[in-house]
Amino acid sequence: MSATITVTDATFEAEVLQSEIPVLVDIWATWCGPCKAIAPILEDLAGEYDGRVKIVKLDADANPATVMAAGVTSIPTLGFYRGGERVDVLIGANPKPVIAGMIDELIA
């Protein structure tokens, strides 16, 4: 069972933009309640979609360059990447079926 992977400004390009499979990027912060609420959902989804999508976490406070480059204004922000491009974005704490549905679209 796969777990979420932590990425940083330094590893974002290799882990996300150069990934062979689609990637969901969770931009979060330690002080963010809604971020904590969706963390277990993302861990579940990382296991369910193992090998088909990579789910990574980026701490917004520790990685300002990537956050600014992504134009993030609110967290949690989930960015959906395929082939090195962000193809969709979901802002806020959403229920598991909503996030899973967007992953399904990402890997379709």
Digit-coded pLDDT (tens) for 55-105: 999 999 999 999 999 999 999 999 999 999 999 999 999 999 999 999 999
Residue 3 pLDDT: 82
Annotated domain spans of the chain? 5-107
Residues taking part in catalysis:
32, 35
92 and 74 Cβ atoms separated by less than 8 Å:
yes
Q: What is the mean pLDDT of the chain?
A: 95
The 10 Å CB-count burial string (b at 16+, else e) for 73-87 is eebbbbbbbbeeeee
Domain formed by 5-107, architecture: 3-Layer(aba) Sandwich (3.40)
Any idea what DSSP says for residue 15?
I
